Structure 1
Amino acid sequence: MKYAKNILETIGNTPLVQLNKIAESIDAMVLAKVETFNPGNSVKDRMAVKMIEDAEADGRLKPGGTIIEGTSGNTGMGLALGAIVKGYKLICVISDKQSKEKIDILRAVGAEVVVCPTDVEPTDPRSYYSVSKRLAEETPNAWYVNQYDNPSNAIAHYEQTGPEIWEQTEGKITHFVVGVGTGGTISGVSKYLKEKNPNVKVWGIDTYGSVFKKYHETGIFDENEVYSYITEGIGEDILPKNVDFSLIDGFTKVTDKDAAVYTRKLALEEGIFVGNSAGAAVKGLLQLKDEFKPGDVVVVLFHDSGSRYVGKMFNDDWMRERGFLDEEITKAGDLIKNHADRPLVMARTEELVSHAIERMRKHKISQIPVADTTGFVGSVNETVLFHAYMEDKDIADKPIKDFMGAPYPLVNANTSLEEVSKLIDKDNQAVLVDLGDGKHHIITKHDIIGAIK
């Protein structure tokens, strides 16, 4: 009988799949190493189990111990599988930018999940780096994994992923392309491939808001390069010890939008349902196409499964809110079509200022039109109310008509975006769109900015 004695024995030997339509502009064979076929649905299963086994071997992880790690989700899943099979507790510390699916999955496999803010410095006591270290110090019989600096991370890929790719391509691989986060995958695979053939070129995919590309090219760790970004699983605001820059030939950066768009393209054009870093890797691959020539064999690694991004990149509303959907917006009706069914938030002239304030607070808006029995006769915004309050602390109980400004210009749904934009200035904060049948909607500067591609 052929069977695995436990789920950990099914890790590895993932397939190499040719990319066709999405890579048709590249003059080389492009093969994807699809790591979602691992039991935890990501490449991180490999190094998670390797780190556990090495820690067991040298006594850092003792029977009945607690494993603690800061993770973007995938390493946590791999650690969870190891913890279940081997009988350990697991605490995963994760940043709040990670998808809800990742957090829910970790809890489903028994991990305790601690969520930390993303927009803090790595040294901030609230960062997921700092919280992980603190929990490891405070928890009895605990082992802090530290995948960023743990050498077992890169060794796992040197021992497993690299040899698999070499064998599957029969040694014909000429280029390896992969997103870089902790650095274990790119460094371990690169070390193995370059030992087999020093001419193999290795390219890292970075994201805007990360330090890798500039540091590789200049040796300068530029804190001005660091800012919040959406793409998950790649890029860092630190320099992990597992990133061996001497083994990497170059980096290319991919925007959040392109990473998200190409994540969806992979599903629609290749039938490969993989995660956000795979989209970034494919877009990076296309940016690098001049590096490849006929006869080359290019391997790009896809880290994880699309199931972890259903509420993000694979959700139209999430994509639309961030301006990631390539929808043609040329007229007023296009700007409001996704929320035209919602009622217009407005106020009546005789209502109290407190009513307007309550509505603005409830709907998180900064301006509303004002109407009477004849139609729209004015407008009120938070700036006007703020200045009025500074002069009179009792304005809340006074009628809105005493503080309203001029009514917003009225346009129809076919008015061009250019004309709408001209109507919004420092003295006029919004435009009303007449949808017919007595229905109206509002366009603000926020809507115009959201339409910028």
Structure 2
Amino acid sequence: MEYVKNILGTIGNTPLVKLNKIVEEIEALVLAKVETFNPGNSAKDRMAVKMIDDAESQGLLKPGYTIIEGTSGNTGMGLALVAIIKGYKLICVISDKQSKEKMDILRAVGAEVIVCPTNVEPDDPRSYYSVSKRLATETPNSWYVNQYDNPSNSLAHYEQTGPEIWEQTEGKITHFVVGVGTGGTISGIGKYLKEKNPAIKIWGIDTYGSVFKKYHETGIFDENEIYPYITEGIGEDILPKNVNFSVIDGFTKVTDKDAAVYTRKIAKEEGIFVGNSAGSAVKGLLQLKKHFKKEDVVVVLFHDHGSRYVGKMFNDDWMRERGFLDEEKLVAIDLIKDRIEIPLITVKTEELVSHAIERMRVNNISQIPVTDIQGFVGSVDESELFSLYFDDKNIANKPIKEVMSTPFPVVKSTTSIDKISKLINRKNSAVLVDLENDKFHIITKHDVISAIQ
């Protein structure tokens, strides 16, 4: 009979899958190392076993101990599988930007999950780095994994994933491309492949808001590069010891939007349901296409499974809220549909400035079109009107026609948001939408900004 002793025996020997449609503009052969075939559905299963085995052999982890780790979710899952088989307790400290699915999965396999804020400095006591370290000192009989600096992380990929890729490509691999987070995957695989053939190029995929690319190119750790980002699993605001920059030939950065869009494209165009870092990796691969020749063999690693992102990248509402769905072309009518039945507020040329100010206050608006018997003949803006009023209180009793500006441009209900945005500027704070049948409405800068958020 053919079977393994437990679920850990199924880790490794993941397949290489040829990518087709999504990389059709690249002449080289592009192969994906699909790590979702591991039982925990990610590449992190490999290093989870290695780190625990090495900690046991070094006497750092003993029966009855509690394993503690800060994780973006996938390492936690790998650790959970090993903890189940070996009888350890597990506490996972995770940042709040990670998907709900990751948190739910960790709890489903018995881990205690502690959620920390993302938008804090690494040394902030609330950060998931700090909380995991603190818990390790406060919890009796515990072991802090520290995947970022634990050498067993990269060693697992040096001993397993690197040799698998070399053998599967029969040594023909010319480029390896992968997202970089803790650095274990790229450093372990990169070191092994470089030892087999120094000509192989190792490319890291970074994200905007992370320090890797600039540090690799300049040696400068630029804190101005650090800001919150959406992409999960890659990029850092620290320099993990597992990132061996000497084996990396270069980095390319991928935006949050491109990462999300290409995550969905992989599923729809290749039938491979993988996670956010895979989207980053494919987009980065396309950005690097000038480096690949027709005879090259390019391997890109897909870290984890798409099921961990069904509430995010694979959710239309989530994508739409962040402006990541390009297929929706907003037009004028879309910007006012929620208030289309509310009458347009106007002021007449002979009315007093005080009337316009009161109308703005009562209706909580900042711009008003000015009309006479011929139609729209001018406009007044809150900032300009209030400035005039506080310079000269007597202006309140003057007619609007003496202070009004030029009329707002008029657009059709089908005018695109792009054209509308170009019409709104310092001199012109709004546009009017012609709804036909002598009915008009107003679109302001606030409406445009709200629509594109």
TM category, shorter = 0.7 to 0.9
Question: What does 1:315-326 align with in structure 2 at a 5 Å threshold?
Answer: 315-326=315-326
Give a deviation string over 1:84-113, Cα, whole Å, max 9, x none. Answer: 111111111111111111111111111111
Question: What does 1:14-25 align with in structure 2 at a 5 Å threshold?
Answer: 14-25=14-25
Change (3 A) 1:294 1:415: closer
User: Does the 8 Å contact 2:63/2:88 carry over to 1?
Assistant: yes
Q: Which residue of 2 aligns with 1:226?
A: 226
CA distance in 1, matches of 2:277, 2:438: 47
Q: Does 1:193 align with 2:193?
A: yes
Q: Which residue of 1 aligns with 2:12?
A: 12
Q: Which residue of 1 aligns with 2:27?
A: 27
Q: Does 1:72 align with 2:72?
A: yes
Q: Which residue of 1 aligns with 2:103?
A: 103
Give the superposition deviation at 1:449: 3.6
Q: Which residue of 2 aligns with 1:388?
A: none
Give the superposition deviation at 1:447: 4.5
Give the superposition deviation at 1:297: 0.6
User: Does the 8 Å contact 2:344/2:442 carry over to 1?
Assistant: no
Paired amino acid for 1:91: I
Matched residue of 2:189: which SS? Answer: helix
Q: Which residue of 1 aligns with 2:209?
A: 209
Normalised TM-score (structure 1): 0.81
Structure whose alpha-carbon radius of gyration is higher: 2
Give a deviation string over 1:322-373, Cα, whole Å, max 9, x none. Answer: 111113536313556xxx4x57797999xxxxxx99x99xxxxx9899xxxx
Give the superposition deviation at 1:199: 1.0
Give the superposition deviation at 1:318: 1.1
Matched residue of 1:68: which SS? Answer: strand
Give the superposition deviation at 1:439: 11
Give the superposition deviation at 1:54: 0.8
Change (3 A) 1:288 1:134: same
Change (3 A) 1:447 1:280: farther
User: Does the 8 Å contact 1:33/1:302 carry over to 2?
Assistant: yes
Give the superposition deviation at 1:448: 2.2
Q: Which residue of 1 aligns with 2:51?
A: 51
Give the superposition deviation at 1:421: 3.5
CA distance in 1, matches of 2:47, 2:445: 48
Paired amino acid for 2:172: K
In structure 1, list runs of 5 or more residues that go unmatched: 350-355, 361-365, 370-378, 385-407
Paired amino acid for 1:198: P
CA distance in 2, matches of 1:29, 1:185: 22
Question: What does 1:377-416 align with in structure 2 at a 5 Å threshold?
Answer: 413-416=413-416
User: Does the 8 Å contact 2:344/2:440 carry over to 1?
Assistant: no
Change (3 A) 1:85 1:326: same
Paired amino acid for 1:134: R
CA distance in 2, matches of 1:111, 1:441: 55
Q: Which residue of 2 aligns with 1:277?
A: 277
User: Does the 8 Å contact 1:36/1:274 carry over to 2?
Assistant: yes
Q: Does 1:248 align with 2:248?
A: yes
CA distance in 1, matches of 2:99, 2:181: 17
Give the superposition deviation at 1:49: 1.1
Q: Does 1:448 align with 2:436?
A: no
Matched residue of 1:241: which SS? Answer: coil
Give the superposition deviation at 1:162: 0.4
User: Does the 8 Å contact 1:344/1:440 carry over to 2?
Assistant: no
Q: Which residue of 1 aligns with 2:290?
A: 290
Paired amino acid for 1:27: E
Paired amino acid for 1:55: A
User: Does the 8 Å contact 1:205/1:253 carry over to 2?
Assistant: yes
Change (3 A) 1:348 1:49: same
Matched residue of 2:161: which SS? Answer: helix
Matched residue of 1:85: which SS? Answer: helix
Q: Which residue of 1 aligns with 2:350?
A: none
CA distance in 2, matches of 1:269, 1:113: 35
Matched residue of 2:311: which SS? Answer: coil
Give the superposition deviation at 1:441: 8.7
Normalised TM-score (structure 2): 0.81
CA distance in 2, matches of 1:285, 1:436: 50
Cα-Cα RMSD: 3.5
Give the superposition deviation at 1:309: 0.8
Change (3 A) 1:192 1:414: same
Question: What does 1:308-319 align with in structure 2 at a 5 Å threshold?
Answer: 308-319=308-319
Matched residue of 1:299: which SS? Answer: strand
CA distance in 1, matches of 2:134, 2:25: 49
CA distance in 2, matches of 1:439, 1:105: 54
Q: Does 1:143 align with 2:137?
A: no
In structure 2, list runs of 5 or more residues that go unmatched: 346-359, 369-379, 386-407
Change (3 A) 1:26 1:409: closer
Give the superposition deviation at 1:434: 7.6
Q: Does 1:327 align with 2:337?
A: no
Paired amino acid for 2:244: D
Give the superposition deviation at 1:444: 4.9
User: Does the 8 Å contact 1:32/1:302 carry over to 2?
Assistant: yes
Give the superposition deviation at 1:414: 1.9
Paired amino acid for 1:17: V
User: Does the 8 Å contact 1:344/1:442 carry over to 2?
Assistant: no
Percent same amino acid among aligned pairs? 79
Give the superposition deviation at 1:290: 0.9
Give the superposition deviation at 1:440: 9.9
Change (3 A) 1:327 1:218: same
Paired amino acid for 2:309: Y
Q: Which residue of 1 aligns with 2:376?
A: none
Give a deviation string over 1:201-232, Cα, whole Å, max 9, x none. Answer: 10000011111011111111111111111111
Give the superposition deviation at 1:420: 3.7
Task: Count the aligned residue pairs.
Answer: 412
Paired amino acid for 2:321: E
Q: Which residue of 2 aligns with 1:237?
A: 237
Q: Which residue of 1 aligns with 2:302?
A: 302
CA distance in 1, matches of 2:49, 2:299: 24
Paired amino acid for 2:142: A
CA distance in 2, matches of 1:447, 1:313: 26
